[in-house]
Structure 1
Amino acid sequence: MESIQKTMKAWRLEKMGGKLELKEIPIPEVRAGSVLVKVAVSGLVSYLKSYTEGQLAVYNPPPHEFTMGSNAIGYVEAVGQDVWHLKPGQRVVLSSHITARENVKSPMMILLGITKNGDTALLAQLDWPDGTLAPYVLAPAETLTPLDGLEQYTDVQLSAVTRFVVPYGGLLKGQLAAGETIVINGATGSFGSAAVFLSVAMGSSKIIITGRNKTMLAEVAQKAGPRVVPVVLKGNPQEDALAIKDACGGGADMAFDMVGNAKDPNSTLAALFSLVPGGRLIIMGSMAVDLPVPYTYVMINSWSIIGNFMYPKDATRKMLELVKSGQLPIDVIEPQVFRMAELHQAMDAAASAGNLQNIMIDCQS
């Protein structure tokens, strides 16, 4: 620790809806099982401004002032005891998804610098309250994945990895197999469009992308290639399901639902009704209403409806192999970088960013 300064400026939030300011705080010291990371860039989620303003009641931030920020690209600065593979100077991607290490039936879970999965996860959040909108962050060793073998990419380019890994977790949960047909509902959103390119990389024979914005669907299809077929939804589940099935050539093996804050369930139901018998629906979006499940249809067709949150610990490592092989083109995501002092402008940009844009903070500026 003698080689670096003892304090740093970090974006600290008093509470959701409380004071947000760039404050001088101590650089954290490593402890057993932890890694101190020098943060290069930290990507911003689209809802960060609403979060800071206290508009998202479903989130559970730390009960005291904390440093915001979630996923990041950085470099190992120092490691604590019980960290054996990661070395100082190594470039890593940091995942905000932290799950308790203990071998228990229901491990507590938090998102670093954002929220916790219910009050039972308070202990985990108190141990790891601070996120990545700072020059240095302390994180559990298991949240870091080495970026060895990717030297041709800049830190800014590699930040796109954090965009892809969330939908990749859902595709893994749904056991998407090469040669299958998949429907991606909400394909014009940031995570939905990422799922399109992932499905191509994972070998889907046909990817049907759905939404209501014809222009944005066409843009994603044009960039993702000939296996991608857009279907513009009209709002009637039965009619839309027929249009999707026609585009599939009979029906889909899997539907991946990544709708953002939908006010009705119609597009999700259309995706469900488009499945072949034995098909599965993966739910990963943020629909604002309940999903009325047609009990008899689900039973007769042997459909599986599977909810999924985030991704397993090894998902980033597996996905990086798709990047290294050239199957997953992370450069389709357009980066826009702001300085540390420009967080407010960056949050505005993130809130209005297009589905193929990635807003981030240069944490060393």
Structure 2
Amino acid sequence: MIASVLGIGTELVDGQIVNKNAAWISEKLKNLGLTTKLHLVVPDERKLISKALDYCGQYSDLMFVTGGLGPTSDDFTRELIAEWTGLKLQWDEGSWQHIKERLEPRGYVVKEIQRQQCYFPEGSRVIKNSEGTANAFFLEAKGKNIFVLPGPPREIEAVWKSEIGAWLEKSVTGLDPYITRHWDTIGMGESDVATIVEQALAGVNVEKGYRVHLPYVEVKMSFYKSQEENMRVHVERVTAALRDITITRDQQDVPLMLSLALKNYSSVSLQDGATGQFLINRLMPAMREFMTEKSWSFSSRAVDPDAQVRLMLTPKSEHSVSVSIERGNKKTTDTIVAPYKAMPMKERRAQYFAEMAMVFWLRHL
């Protein structure tokens, strides 16, 4: 099952909004072993939308269309889906009641213009949107499975949890999923990492990929689930070749793992005098999510001596830092030396220090 994601909205092509929906949907599909071959974004123009539907239909059998289901004059996705599939639009009373139930208790007057949100191509399965007024819908047409979703990300997530995720899980039963193994490496450039991998996989017919997301170089190796046993020896060969520079495997996240480990403590204090904003920017999202109702603080100068766990990162030289962890009277310290020596790589060194400090703390918690 090959998928495509078509985003509809002028705000997406003029730079006002980043199309995060396509990435979110593709990640969900990837986790199920499905392959997304196409992301396409078009403005609110009828001719372009019709051509985009043709293009997506040509290269995929599972189509996701996002946006254009609202009540205004530039929301005509449902009309064009009906035209493209050759199906008539039919009124759905349940969607009208859904709009009234969402708006009237909040003091909003339901307007006639919102009736257009209640029409769907005949034969569609309406999917209730618990986060908005625009219900999603699913239909089978032209040999394709088509999901038409609202634009706001939280609404896409709501309808996905409501029905789409379960439908997909059932649909992939019996398919041969396409899986990917990941290695996040650090301290070596992309070309050097690629040379190691290409040598390890010389003569092996397998899809390889590389992605730089500083301070990491990610290595990817993809194959069908049915090939997993035959590929095991090659995966092990890559693992051995990258062992000295691998930090995480299969999309593990160091800040997330560290924050989860810190949940066991009531108070945490961190001193970072070495990386500027790199460490706090990496840690903050995970700390906010997983350290609620805990006491934690950041400083560039000193730690809180009363904190249950104290994490410290201080500069030693241009190319090295001291990293420490204190719990009660126990202190563990080490030195991190950056492999990047050139002057223009100051930021790269700071990123390296931040990541390796988190790895050190995680290993000693």
TM range (shorter): under 0.3
Q: In proportion to residue count, which structure has more helix? A: 2
Return the index of the structure with the highest Cα Rg.
2
TM-score by length of 2: 0.27
